């Protein structure tokens, strides 16, 4: 490993020196760089041999041997394709070649810049009847969605042969009848029909045809035409990402792509999200996908406003090129770039008002007092009357502002964007703001040499109290107590129990984080078809966090003030070097080869300190030196390295048969000397059936492709140094003095290695009726072996556990994406629907034995396990007793230690016993004990889905987006705590319906102060839901109205998020989250406790273009 790493480092240094030399060459040549001009077809010479090819194949051959691109409607040239083309020329002008082709295929050509439009030559002119018509001349500009002119667009008076094409500036002029309808089309864009209605000026913006077979998608280390893909790749557009303001661009992807499950950890401002691609591939190792931003592996995402597109790589064919980090999927982010044209300035501003989605219906003072008297007779009640939810919840707001500048010419393109995002949460004193800067620059000093940089800077600031504890307290705190005592001090319901207002406002918790991320690259076209690219990326993420509990809180009162501060810094250095070779030969063979190596190093360090007992609360955590009692300081340093070699070969024949072979060889410092290196291969084949002769002339089928892939990827997301024997600090008192010492705590494992995922995918891509109806379907089978587990060791070893590769898990599923263009004229209506089915199952565990664990707050349930890992079951299932209602007078009470045996007491089902050999029988034995526990819920959904409708008419755009989940269960520790009937506040519907001698028709037990709460099915709920995630209405002011006002575009909009949720879950928010932020394991999902709820909101926005 050491010798290989030295070689990789040396190659990395050579590539850096090469980059510097190329940069120097760029500086020398930049001044003499002229403005490159597109040549005429009369100036370009070509040699080519076309043998018995149809017209479209001949055009493709010419394209691949020149710098020109042909634009045409395939359906229009259907008849021309039936004539075989025979041309052999050497060193003739392209004009001469096209003249020969024109004669053989009966077509005409027209050059506009680097595009050549192809039209069928009519054999006879249409005879028109003489009639008197009133005509007028219509002129205008045809542009794309970014307001860039489209030269060569076709404008035709519908029903006639009268038409024209736009010039180099996208302008046109055409004389038509007053009641004419203009049909406007351009290859790669959706055609549109517009009535003239007597107008003389019509400016037309065309939308991209996203279902076009030539759509380019970003894959690992390159781009590909969508029609050439053999793997499973989903895309999310910039418009979808910016449909509503979010603090995290990944959250905006929720429900947008099949096979991708995204859930906010909670609704706290600035919180992160959980992302799972095709299920949970691991149990204890990290399961988040790897993010690649502009080629920087492991980079942080910029705000959604700066992202051009996101591609999600799902199957092994697509992810294997990322090797040991590809098992959980790969998300590739491409940020926005400058485009050739005049400078564009855009200002985007929005303001959102938020409210909590739902409040719990709790007891008020009048209802609470008799209930508490029943539990605690003689309890003294203060005179307060407080709705604690009203105290801590408040309207939230979000402000989001962006200023961007972009533009360029052939030699330089630039994009600069600054964004300010500020959020005040729906819980008092919870705030988050972000300031970011994105700068992308691309320079081409001479043809074939390109340089660029992608620089991202960000500052995040979070300020809060203790909102999670405040939420839990607001639900359970006595309504008969106020915020303050008569003397102005904060009131408490118990000596050691702060009220919710104190928890939310008095405790200080502030985090400030800075991110600097830069990726510099150089690209050289070495010779025809061969390109070398080198890049050097570096990032630094530094943060500090300070916390303080003042003397007005329980924690601070007992210590004289409690403060802590910590700081951390995480740096990454990445060097990528690869060659790309593209060649088309022998008339139908296409080759695309990528090969390269990379080296990545990370460095992480942290410091922490704490103290207690301060003279004053005024200086918060900034006064640690003045603490009377200092806590033990902490520090850490972690470094990792990853060296890799990778390659991909794409081959296709005649655009019908496609093959992809990918591999990566990774070496990681995270693993032992015996297993530092691993090889991750994949292969895929695809068949473009549409291009076969038996389907080529079937107009109703516009696309039909079958894909099959198989491969292996890895997961190295474990903590560093796990393979080594480690020591821990163990001081001892010797001779009356404390002496430092260490003791062994973990045993080494020289066999520890990667978790390995093997995946098979079978997919279909179908397009019907000129792609007005599109289907993408995939079936996959994904198996992960070598799962990492802490395996118990014999007591005589002196160690507790050892991390080993034991166990396997499987995910099988089906994904379906449907896209339709329902109306495509002046009134447009498109629909997108995706649905994903996934079945997760544990195949093997250490010794095949069940693993019990718990995640619950200990003050609620106690020491019993609430979750289970079991072979044949999904990861993280819920475990406990089956709740059977309450006992009635005269019932036979089941015996069992600690179980209630009286009328109104909780009743649980007896389901199991043991035989004489202590083996479980599966039959009741008349006694309640832990043997009667069973599986009571599954947190994983049967399927997830998203449904989008886009409608537009005369400048108005309406977007409606639903998203949902079906079949998942939620274990609510929160409702369990509120439903124990032990004297704390709780749900009105439950407490007022408790059992009593006069209210026996109920499944709610009698109130009891001493109830020992157990994990049971009573607290497991159906977590299925349908949510109106976003609905927005916008209006774009016509350019004719803006003429002379100084604006190029003005768009105003209003949108609403989460305003409708359909669910049976009785908690505050069905999208729950519990456990530590940053916990990437799959063992604690579907749990609800102290969850900061998501908000419903209304947003008003304005987009200005200059």
CA–CA distance, 66 with 59 (Å, rounded to integer):
11
pLDDT tens digits along 199-233: 888 888 887 765 444 577 889 899 888 888 899 99
Instruction: Tell me the average pLDDT across 293-317.
Output: 94
pLDDT at 643 over 50: yes
**Which helix (H) or strand (E) segment is 505 a member of?**
helix 500-505
Query: Tokens 């990326």 sit at which residue?
Result: 537
Query: Tokens 């109290």 sit at which residue?
Result: 465
> What are the φ and ψ backbone dihedral angles of 469, each rounded to 5 degrees?
-70, -35
Assign a CATH topology to domain 40-123+133-188+201-207: Phage tail protein beta-alpha-beta fold (3.55.50)
pLDDT tens digits along 506-518: 999 999 999 999 9
Q: Among candidates 959, 971, 963, which has minimal Cα distance to 1061?
A: 963
Q: Among candidates 833, 1007, 850, which has minimal Cα distance to 920?
A: 850
When mean pLDDT is compared over 38-42, 123-127, 983-987, 1073-1077, the highest value belongs to 983-987
On average, the pLDDT of the chain sits at 88
Q: Is-same-fold flag (40-123+133-188+201-207; 216-341)?
A: no
pLDDT tens digits along 269-279: 998 888 999 99
pLDDT tens digits along 233-257: 999 988 899 888 888 889 899 999 9
Query: Tokens 């892939």 sit at which residue?
Result: 709
pLDDT tens digits along 935-949: 999 999 999 999 999
- The answer to whether 305 and 348 are in contact (CB under 8 A) is yes
pLDDT at 968 over 90: yes
Reported confidence tier of residue 15, pLDDT bands at 50, 70, 90: very low
CA–CA distance, 431 with 326 (Å, rounded to integer):
35
Domain 342-724+744-859+939-1100 coded CATH 2.40.170.20:
yes
Domain boundaries, the chain: 40-123+133-188+201-207, 216-341, 342-724+744-859+939-1100
The CB density around residue 528, as the number of other CB atoms within 10 Å, is 9
CA–CA distance, 296 with 520 (Å, rounded to integer):
10
pLDDT tens digits along 1007-1056: 998 887 889 999 999 999 999 999 999 999 988 788 778 888 999 999 99
pLDDT tens digits along 850-901: 988 877 776 777 667 888 999 999 999 999 999 999 999 999 999 998 899 9
CA–CA distance, 310 with 297 (Å, rounded to integer):
14
The pLDDT of residue 975 is 93
CA–CA distance, 301 with 454 (Å, rounded to integer):
12
pLDDT at 1078 over 80: no
Instruction: Tell me the average pLDDT across 32-56.
Output: 70
Reported confidence tier of residue 689, pLDDT bands at 50, 70, 90: very high
pLDDT at 56 over 80: yes
pLDDT at 296 over 80: yes
The pLDDT of residue 57 is 86
Poorest-confidence range of 117-131, 584-598, 893-907? 117-131
Reported confidence tier of residue 1062, pLDDT bands at 50, 70, 90: very high
Q: Percent of the chain, pLDDT > 70?
A: 93
The pLDDT of residue 306 is 95
Reported confidence tier of residue 39, pLDDT bands at 50, 70, 90: low
Instruction: Tell me the average pLDDT across 626-637.
Output: 91
The pLDDT of residue 112 is 54
Model pTM score: 0.82
The pLDDT of residue 40 is 63
**Domain 216-341, architecture per CATH:** Beta Complex (2.170)
């Amino acid at each position: 490993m050491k010798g290989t790493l030295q070689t990789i480092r040396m190659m990395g240094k050579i590539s850096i020196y090469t980059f510097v030399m190329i940069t120097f060459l760029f500086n020398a040549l930049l001044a003499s760089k002229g403005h490159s001009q597109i040549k005429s077809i009369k100036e370009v010479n070509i040699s080519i041999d076309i043998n018995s090819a149809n017209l479209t194949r001949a055009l493709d051959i010419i394209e691949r041997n020149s710098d020109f691109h042909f634009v045409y409607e395939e359906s229009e040239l259907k008849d021309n394709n039936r004539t075989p083309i025979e041309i052999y020329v050497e060193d003739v002008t392209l004009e001469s070649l096209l003249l020969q082709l024109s004669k053989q295929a009966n077509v005409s050509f027209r050059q506009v810049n680097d595009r050549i439009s192809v039209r069928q030559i009519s054999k006879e002119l249409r005879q028109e009847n003489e009639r008197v018509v009133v005509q007028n001349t219509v002129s205008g500009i045809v542009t794309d969605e970014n307001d860039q002119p489209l030269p060569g667009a076709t404008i035709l008076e519908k029903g006639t042969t009268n038409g024209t094409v736009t010039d180099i500036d996208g302008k046109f002029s055409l004389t038509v009848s007053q009641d004419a309808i203009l049909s406007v089309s351009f290859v790669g864009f959706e055609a549109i029909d517009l009535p003239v209605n007597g107008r003389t000026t019509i400016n037309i913006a065309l939308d991209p045809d996203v279902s076009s077979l030539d759509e380019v998608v970003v894959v690992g280390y390159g781009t590909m035409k969508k029609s050439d893909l053999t793997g499973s790749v989903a895309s999310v557009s910039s418009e979808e990402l910016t449909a509503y303001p979010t603090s995290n661009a990944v959250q905006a992807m929720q429900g947008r792509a099949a096979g991708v499950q995204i859930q906010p950890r909670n609704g706290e401002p600035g919180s992160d999200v959980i992302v799972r691609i095709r299920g949970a591939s691991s149990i204890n190792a990290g399961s988040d996908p790897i993010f690649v931003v502009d080629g920087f592996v492991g980079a942080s995402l910029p705000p959604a406003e700066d992202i051009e597109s996101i591609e999600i790589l799902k199957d092994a064919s697509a992810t294997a090129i990322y090797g040991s980090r590809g098992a959980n999927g790969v998300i590739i982010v491409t940020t926005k770039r400058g485009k050739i044209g005049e400078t564009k300035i855009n200002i985007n501003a929005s303001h959102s008002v938020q409210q909590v989605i739902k409040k719990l219906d709790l007891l008020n003072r009048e209802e609470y007092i008799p209930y508490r008297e029943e539990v605690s007779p003689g309890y003294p009640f203060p005179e307060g009357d407080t709705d604690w939810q009203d105290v801590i919840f408040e309207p939230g707001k979000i402000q989001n502002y962006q200023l961007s500048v972009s533009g360029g010419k052939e030699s330089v393109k630039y994009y600069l964007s600054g964004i300010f995002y500020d959020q005040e949460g729906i819980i008092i004193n919870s705030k988050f703001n972000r300031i970011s800067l994105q700068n992308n620059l691309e320079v081409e000093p001479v043809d074939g040499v390109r340089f660029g940089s992608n620089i991202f800077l960000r500052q995040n600031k979070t300020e809060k109290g203790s909102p999670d504890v405040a939420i839990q307290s607001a639900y359970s705190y006595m309504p008969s107590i106020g915020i303050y005592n008569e003397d102005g001090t904060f009131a408490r319901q118990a000596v050691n129990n702060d009220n919710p207002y104190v928890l939310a406002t008095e405790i200080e918790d502030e985090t400030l984080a800075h991110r600097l991320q830069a990726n510099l690259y150089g690209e050289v076209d070495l010779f025809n078809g061969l390109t070398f690219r080198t890049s050097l990326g570096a990032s630094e993420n530094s943060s500090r966090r300070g916390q303080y509990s003042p003397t007005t809180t329980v924690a601070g009162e007992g210590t004289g003030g409690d403060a802590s501060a910590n700081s951390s810094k995480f740096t990454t250095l990445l060097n990528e070097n690869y060659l790309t070779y593209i060649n088309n030969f022998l008339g139908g063979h296409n080759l695309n080869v990528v090969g390269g190596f990379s080296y990545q190093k990370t460095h992480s360090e942290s410091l922490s300190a704490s103290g207690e007992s301060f003279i004053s609360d005024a200086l918060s955590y900034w006064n640690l030196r003045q603490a009377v009692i200092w806590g033990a300081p902490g520090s850490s340093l972690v470094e990792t390295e990853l060296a890799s070699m990778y390659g991909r070969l794409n081959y296709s024949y005649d655009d019908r048969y496609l093959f992809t072979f990918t591999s990566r060889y990774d070496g990681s410092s995270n693993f032992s000397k015996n297993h530092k290196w691993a090889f991750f291969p994949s292969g895929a084949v695809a068949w473009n059936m549409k291009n076969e002769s038996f389907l080529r002339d079937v107009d109703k089928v516009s696309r039909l492709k079958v894909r099959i892939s198989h491969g292996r990827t890895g997961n190295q997301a474990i903590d560093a140094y796990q393979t080594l024997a480690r020591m821990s600090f163990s001081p001892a008192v010797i001779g009356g003095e404390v002496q430092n010492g260490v003791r062994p705590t973990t045993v080494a494992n020289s066999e520890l290695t990667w978790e390995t995922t093997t995946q098979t995918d079978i997919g279909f891509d179908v397009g019907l009726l000129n792609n007005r109806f599109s289907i993408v379907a995939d079936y996959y089978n994904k198996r992960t072996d070598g799962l990492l587990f802490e395996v118990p060791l014999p007591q005589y070893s002196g160690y507790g556990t050892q991390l080993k590769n034991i166990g396997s898990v499987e995910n099988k599923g089906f994904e379906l994406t449907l896209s339709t263009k329902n109306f495509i004229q002046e009134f447009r209506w498109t629909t997108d629907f995706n649905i994903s089915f996934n079945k997760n199952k544990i195949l093997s565990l250490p010794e095949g034995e069940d693993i019990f664990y718990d995640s619950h707050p200990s003050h609620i349930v106690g020491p019993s396990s609430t979750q289970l890992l079991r072979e044949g079951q999904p990861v993280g299932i819920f475990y406990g007793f089956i709740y059977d209602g309450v006992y009635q007078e005269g019932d036979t009470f089941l015996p069992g230690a600690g179980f209630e045996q009286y009328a109104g007491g909780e009743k649980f089902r007896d389901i199991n016993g043991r035989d004489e050999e202590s083996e479980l029988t599966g039959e009741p034995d008349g006694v309640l004990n832990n043997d009667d526990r069973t599986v009571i819920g599954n947190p994983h959904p049967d399927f997830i889905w998203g449904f989008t409708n886009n409608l537009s008419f005369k400048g108005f755009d309406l977007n409606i987006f639903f998203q949902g989940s079906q079949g998942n269960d939620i274990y609510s520790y929160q409702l369990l705590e509120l439903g124990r009937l032990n004297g704390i506040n709780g749900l009105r519907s439950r407490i007022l319906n408790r059992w009593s001698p006069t209210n026996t028709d109920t499944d709610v037990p009698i109130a009891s102060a001493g109830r020992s709460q157990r994990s049971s099915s009573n607290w497991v709920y159906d977590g299925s839901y349908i949510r109106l995630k976003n609905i927005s209405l916008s209006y774009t002011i016509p350019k004719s109205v803006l003429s002379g006002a100084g604006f190029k575009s003005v768009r105003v909009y209003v949108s609403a998020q989460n305003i409708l949720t359909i669910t049976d879950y009785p908690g505050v928010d069905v999208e729950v989250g519990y456990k530590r932020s940053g916990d990437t394991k799959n063992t604690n999902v579907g749990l609800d406790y102290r969850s900061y709820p998501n908000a419903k909101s209304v947003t008003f926005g304005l987009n200005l273009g200059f």
